[in-house]
Amino acid sequence: MKEAEQLEVHVLETRKSVLGQEHPFTLASIGNLASVYVSPGRWNEPEVLGMQVMETRKTILGHQHPDTLTNISHLTLTYMIQGRWKEAEEMFMQVMDTRKTIVGEQHPDTMTSVSNLALTYMNQG
């Protein structure tokens, strides 16, 4: 894991300096680094990085952009892993409702959101 983390940090720092903090590739690198942190159970880093990417994407792309919604879903999965079910439920509900409006109720992304919401309900009893 240490090697993966080092490589992702290198890619992220290079993309920041070459492309800038708000470039989509830089944001993707931040998300990739967050994924590396989730594996060994380091929950604080992925949450902080996920929030950073989410807020940047909301600012640049808007609340309803597919990339923003995907990022919110990834952040919400972090909340699920942490056992923060009520927060996860609220965020998945928001993503699901937005996707229903944007791409329709039967779109695969909407169905993924419905499934994720169902998992939160199941884990809350």
pLDDT tens-digit series, residues 53-96: 899 999 999 999 999 998 898 888 888 888 889 999 999 999 99
Statement to judge: residues 54 and 71 lie in one domain: no
Q: Indicate if 74 and 114 belong to the same structural domain.
A: yes
Q: Which two tokens stand for residue 112?
A: 């993924």
State the pTM of this model. 0.76
Residues 69 and 117 in one domain: yes
56 and 79 co-located in one domain: no
Count of alpha carbons within 13 angstroms of residue 90, beta-carbon side? 4
What residue has token string 């090697």?
3
Task: Tell me, yes or no, whether 73 and 54 share the same domain.
Answer: no
Domain that holds residue 91: 63-125
- Asked if 96 and 77 touch (Cβ cutoff 8 Å), the reply is no
Domain match, 72 and 55 both: no
Q: How far apart are CA 61 and CA 46, in angstroms?
A: 21
At residue 5 the predicted structure's pLDDT band, cuts being 50, 70 and 90, is: confident
Indicate the burial class of 100 (C-beta count within 10 angstroms; 0-12, 13-18, 19 or more). Answer: middle
* 30 lies in the same domain as 67: no
Pair (49, 88) in one structural domain: no
Residue identified by tokens 């923003």 is: 68
